[in-house]
Amino acid sequence: MANIKDVARLAGVSPSTVSRVIAGSSRISPETQARVREAMRALNYYPNANARSLVRRKTHAIGVIIARPAEQAFANPFFPEVLRGIGSELRRHGYDLVLSMTAAPDEEQGACMRLLKQRRVDGVILTSSRAHDELLTELAAEQYPFVLIGRAAPGQAVSWVNNDNVAVGEMAVEHLVGRGHRRIAMINGPADLTVSIDREQGFRQAVDRFKLDLPAGYVVEGDFTKDGGYRAMAELLSRPDPPTGVFCADDAMAVGALMALKERGLTRRVAVIGVNDDPLTALLDPPLSTVRIPVFDLGATAARLLLDSLTQGVRGPRQIVLPSQLVVRESTNWVVGGGN
Amino acid sequence: MANIKDVARLAGVSPSTVSRVIAGSSRISPETQARVREAMRALNYYPNANARSLVRRKTHAIGVIIARPAEQAFANPFFPEVLRGIGSELRRHGYDLVLSMTAAPDEEQGACMRLLKQRRVDGVILTSSRAHDELLTELAAEQYPFVLIGRAAPGQAVSWVNNDNVAVGEMAVEHLVGRGHRRIAMINGPADLTVSIDREQGFRQAVDRFKLDLPAGYVVEGDFTKDGGYRAMAELLSRPDPPTGVFCADDAMAVGALMALKERGLTRRVAVIGVNDDPLTALLDPPLSTVRIPVFDLGATAARLLLDSLTQGVRGPRQIVLPSQLVVRESTNWVVGGGN
DNA sequence: GCCCGGATTGCAAACGTTTGCGCTCACCCT
DNA sequence: AGGGTGAGCGCAAACGTTTGCAATCCGGGC
C-alpha cells in the first residue's frame, strides 16, 4: 500500500511537504499543493493512522464502554439510541468510535483502562448506572478525559450527563394525583443503580408534597424485566390495601405489571405508568403511559462534552441534566372513581 | 506514561527482551521473565498499540459498519443483538471493535475503505441488505478481509452469513396453509433489499407448491415501518377479494397490519404473521406469530469467519446460512372456517 | 554589488514497538 | 586443551508519520 514517501516521490517533493499539505499548512505554494494532491489521488493514498497517532500522541478515536449486566434485560432502544447520539456527534469531528461491551461489571475497569493506556483512544464515554467509585477515581487520578452517562456520587468531581430521574419520579406521581389517585405504589429497579435511587427519591418527594399515604411495602424492588414487573404487581394486588396507581421505573416492568392486571380483569382499576417510551408499548392494550427519556441527546451531549475537553481543551468537570417528558396514554388516562 | 524502555531499564534488560517476554517467547530465562514482569507491574505498563500496529502491520481490531437507512426504522433489537454477537466473539480473541454507523448509503463505502486503508482495523464486518456491488468489488479487489451480514449477489465470491430468508417465506405460508388458508397475501419490505427479495421468493415458492391463487396486487411493498404495514393492510382489505392470511416481512409492519384489523374488528378474520420476534410483540392483542431470526448468532458467526481468515489464514470466501424458527402465537393460531 | 528578510522546502530526529542477526558465554565432546 | 553448540540476550534497523530547525532562493533596499 502506498505510503507518504511514494506520494512524495511521485509529486517530486519531500515527505515533509506532503505531510504539511495533508495538515493544511499555509506555507506551501499553491502549485506544490496541487501536485501533491494529485499524487495522493493517483495513488489512492490514506495516511497510516498508527504512525500518525504514534508521533502525535492522539488517536482521534474515543472509546465507549457499555455495561450490560441486568440492564441488558430491557431490550429497549436505549443502547442503540445512545450509540447513535454519540456517533452522530463524533462523525462531525471525524472521530472514530471503539466500542467495548462488558458482560460482567468487573470487566469494566480493565477494558476501560486498557483502551486508554494502550493509546487506542483519546478518551472514553462510560454508560452505566452503578457506582464504580474505584474506576472513576482511577480515571480521574490519571487525568484521562472521560464522561459518564448517568451520574457519579455527589462528591465526585467528574463530568457526566444524565436525565432528570428525580423529576421523572415526581412527574409520574404528579400525573397520577392529577387523575385522582391517592394510593400510589412504585415498582423500582435494582436498589444499587443510581437510576433506581433517583427515581425513587422523586417518587417519595412527590408523595410527601401531596401528603399521600405510603404504607410499608408500597415500594417494591423489581429487576427491570417484564417478569419482575409481573411479580411485583401481583404482590401489590394481594395486599389488603392495594394501590390504584403504580409508577414503574421502566417500561419493561410496566408491561409485566399490565399483564398481571389483565389476568385479573383490573386493567381499568389500576393505573400504570412506565419510563422510557419503548415504541411498541404504545400498541399494548391499554397503551402505556410513560415518561420519555432523551436517549439520543444523552449520547450526543456526552460526546460533545468529551470532544470539548479533547479539542478545545476545556478543563474541569461539567455536569449536565437533560429533561424528560411525560407521555399520557390510556393506561393512566382516566379518573379515579370516574365510574368507568 | 511508561514505555518499554522504562520497563527495560528497571528490569536491567534491553527493550528487545521485554518485548519478547510480552510476546511469550520461550528463549528467555525464567528469572529474567520474572524480573521483567515485575517491572511491568510496578510501572503499570501497557504496550502502545499504535507503535505495535505500526511494525506488526496488524491492529488487532476489526471494523463494523452498520448501515441504517430505512432499516433504522424498525427499532427492533437487531442492531444491538448483532453487535453483542460480534462482540462476544471478538472478546474471546482479544480483538477490539471499531464501530461506524452510516446514515446515508453513500457514506458506507468511504467509511469502510477509510478504516481499512488508514490501517485502523484488520478487516470489516458489513451489515446491510442493499446490493452495493461497487463496495464489495473494491473490497475484494484490494484483498481486504471482510464478511457481509446479509448476502451478496449470487455471482460474487465474497464471504457472508445470512439467515434463510427464502425458508422464512416458505415457513410462514406453510403455517398459514396448515391453518386452512388459501388466500394469502404478503406485505413486503423495500424491493431493493435482499431480505425483501428472498422472503418474497420463499413466499412465491410456497404459493406455487400449494397451488394457491395469487391475484395481482397480493404482494404489496411496505417500508418496514408500522405505518407502512397499516396502510398496506388497509389496501388489502379494501379489495373485493381480501386475503384471510397475511405474511409480513417484518414485525413492525405486522404490528401496523394488526392495528388496521383491530380498527375494523377483523382480528380473528385475518391471520397475521411477522418476522423477527421483537420481544414486545408477544404482548400485543392478539400476540403476534412470527419467524424468529438468530440475530446474535449472525453476528457471532460473521466475527468467527472474519477471525478465521485473519488469524488462521483461512482463504477463500465462505457462505453460511443460519436457520430461523417459526413461533406460533394467537394472531395465526386458529383455523379458517373454524366457526370462531 | 551586498545584505536582509520572507517565502518555500528539505533534513533528520523522534514517536514506541518488533525482530533478524549476531554476540557472549558456559558447557560438553573429542 | 581446543573447538563446537546452543541458550540467552542485545544491537540496530524498520514501521510511516510529524515537526523543529536549517537551507535555499528570490526580490528589494541601501
Per-residue pLDDT of B128-137, as tens digits, reads 777 677 889 8
B160 and B270 inside one domain: no
Task: Count interface pairs A-B at CB distance under 8 A.
Answer: 118
Q: How far apart are CA B116 and CA B98, in angstroms?
A: 11
Nucleotide nearest to A8 (CA to C1'): C10
Whether B87 sits inside 8 A of A80 (CB atoms) is no
Nucleotide nearest to A4 (CA to C1'): D16
Q: Looking at the domain assignment, is residue A103 inside a domain?
A: yes
- Distance from the Cα of B241 to chain A's closest Cα (Å) equals 28
A84 and A100 inside one domain: yes
What is residue A90's predicted lDDT score, i.e. its pLDDT?
96
N- to C-terminal Cα separation, chain A = 74
Question: In the structure grid, which three cell numbers stand for residue B264, read together?
Answer: 375494523
**B100 SS3 class:** strand
Task: Mutate one of A22, A65, A101 to test the B interface: name it (highest B CB count within 10 A).
Answer: A101
Q: How many domains does chain B have?
A: 3
Amino acid at A298: L
B18-29 CB burial, b ≥16 within 10 A, e <16: bbbbbeeeeebe
Rounded mean pLDDT of chain A?
92
**A54 SS3 class:** helix
pLDDT of A149 above 90: yes
pLDDT of B284 above 70: yes
Nearest residue for C6, CA–C1': A27
- Tell me the percentage of chain A whose pLDDT exceeds 90: 76
N- to C-terminal Cα separation, chain B = 74
Q: Considering only CB atoms, which chain B residues are within 8 Å of A79?
A: 80
A4 touches strand C (CB under 7 A): no
Q: Which residue has the higher pLDDT, B13 or A312?
A: B13
CA B313 to chain centre: 24
How many Å is the Cα radius of gyration of chain A? 26
Q: Looking at the domain assignment, is residue B11 inside a domain?
A: yes
Q: How far apart are CA B316 and CA B145, in angstroms?
A: 10
Task: List protein-proximal bases of chain D (any atom < 7 A from a CB).
Answer: 7-12, 14-20
Per-residue pLDDT of A95-113, as tens digits, reads 999 999 987 878 889 999 9
A175 and A262 inside one domain: yes
Q: Which stretches within chain B are classed as H helix?
A: 4-11, 15-23, 30-43, 49-56, 78-92, 105-117, 133-141, 165-178, 194-209, 226-237, 251-263, 295-307
B231 and B305 inside one domain: no
pLDDT of A75 above 90: no
Question: In the structure grid, which three cell numbers stand for residue B249, read together?
Answer: 416481512
Q: Which of residues 198-257 of B touch A (CB under 8 A)?
A: 226, 255
Question: In the structure grid, which three cell numbers stand for residue A109, read together?
Answer: 475497569
The spacing between the Cα labelled CA in B50 and the C1' in C20, in angstroms, equals 22
B189 and B267 inside one domain: yes
What is residue A179's predicted lDDT score, i.e. its pLDDT?
97
For residue A337, name the pLDDT band (cuts at 50, 70, 90).
confident
Question: In the structure grid, which three cell numbers stand for residue A159, read together?
Answer: 463530568
B80 and B159 inside one domain: yes
A155 and A193 inside one domain: no
- Tell me the percentage of chain A whose pLDDT exceeds 70: 96
Q: Looking at the domain assignment, is residue B129 inside a domain?
A: yes
- Tell me how crowded residue B271 is: count the other CB atoms within 10 A of its CB: 27
Q: Looking at the domain assignment, is residue B110 inside a domain?
A: yes
pLDDT of B340 above 60: no
Question: In the structure grid, which three cell numbers stand for residue A6, read together?
Answer: 511514494
Q: Considering only CB atoms, which chain A residues are within 8 Å of B44?
A: 117
B87 in contact with A at a CB cutoff of 8 Å?
yes
Average pLDDT in the A211-237 region?
95
Closest C-alpha among B164, B180, B196 to residue B325: B164
Q: How far apart are CA A198 and CA A166, in angstroms?
A: 5
What is residue A74's predicted lDDT score, i.e. its pLDDT?
52
* CATH code: domain of residue B30: 1.10.260.40
Q: Which of residues 112-151 of B touch A (CB under 8 A)?
A: 113-115, 117-120
Average pLDDT in the A285-289 region?
91
B130 and B270 inside one domain: no
- Tell me the percentage of chain B whose pLDDT exceeds 70: 96
A46-55 CB burial, b ≥16 within 10 A, e <16: bbbbbbbbbe
What is residue B70's predicted lDDT score, i.e. its pLDDT?
57
- Label residue A270 exposed, middle or buried (CB < 10 Å: 0-12, 13-18, 19+): buried
Average pLDDT in the A283-300 region?
93
Whether B101 sits inside 8 A of A87 (CB atoms) is yes
B292 in contact with A at a CB cutoff of 8 Å?
no
A340 in contact with B at a CB cutoff of 8 Å?
no
Per-residue pLDDT of A163-199, as tens digits, reads 999 999 999 999 999 999 999 999 999 998 899 999 9
Q: Looking at the domain assignment, is residue B82 inside a domain?
A: yes
Average pLDDT in the B54-67 region?
95
CA A272 to chain centre: 24
What is residue B131's predicted lDDT score, i.e. its pLDDT?
66
Q: How far apart are CA A100 and CA B87, in angstroms?
A: 8
B3 touches strand D (CB under 7 A): no
- Distance from the Cα of A79 to chain B's closest Cα (Å) equals 7
What is residue B75's predicted lDDT score, i.e. its pLDDT?
60
Per-residue pLDDT of B149-172, as tens digits, reads 999 988 888 999 999 999 999 999
Q: Looking at the domain assignment, is residue B336 inside a domain?
A: no
Average pLDDT in the B99-125 region?
92
Q: Which of residues 257-276 of B touch A (CB under 8 A)?
A: 258-259
A264 and A318 inside one domain: no
Q: CB of B187 within 8 A of CB of B253?
A: yes
A106 and A137 inside one domain: yes
Rounded mean pLDDT of chain B?
92
Q: How far apart are CA B254 and CA B232, in angstroms?
A: 10
Tell me what percent of chain B is helix, strand and coil, each rounded to the nearest 5.
Answer: 45, 15, 35
For residue A73, name the pLDDT band (cuts at 50, 70, 90).
low
A319-323, B125-129, B143-147, B301-305: range with lowest mean pLDDT: B125-129
B83 in contact with A at a CB cutoff of 8 Å?
yes
pLDDT of A250 above 60: yes
What is residue B308's predicted lDDT score, i.e. its pLDDT?
95
Q: Which domain holds residue B100?
A: 61-164+295-323
Q: Looking at the domain assignment, is residue A65 inside a domain?
A: yes
Whether B99 sits inside 8 A of A77 (CB atoms) is no
Q: Considering only CB atoms, which chain B residues are within 8 Å of A101?
A: 83-84, 87
**A151 SS3 class:** coil
pLDDT of A76 above 90: no
What residues pair up with B148 in beta bridges, in sequence order? B126, B160
A180 and A245 inside one domain: yes
- Distance from the Cα of B252 to chain A's closest Cα (Å) equals 9
Q: Looking at the domain assignment, is residue B54 inside a domain?
A: no
What is residue A339's predicted lDDT score, i.e. its pLDDT?
52
Task: List protein-proximal bases of chain C (any atom < 7 A from a CB).
Answer: 7-12, 14-20
Q: How far apart are CA B123 and CA B58, in angstroms?
A: 10
What is residue A32's predicted lDDT score, i.e. its pLDDT?
92
* CATH code: domain of residue A317: 3.40.50.2300
Task: Mutate one of B22, B66, B120, B285 to test the A interface: name it (highest A CB count within 10 A).
Answer: B120
CA-CA-CA-CA torsion for B124, B98, A103, B252, nearest 10 degrees? -70
B190 and B226 inside one domain: yes
B137-166 CB burial, b ≥16 within 10 A, e <16: eebbeeebbbbbbbbbeeebebbbbbbbbb
Q: Which residue has the higher pLDDT, A254 or B106?
A: A254
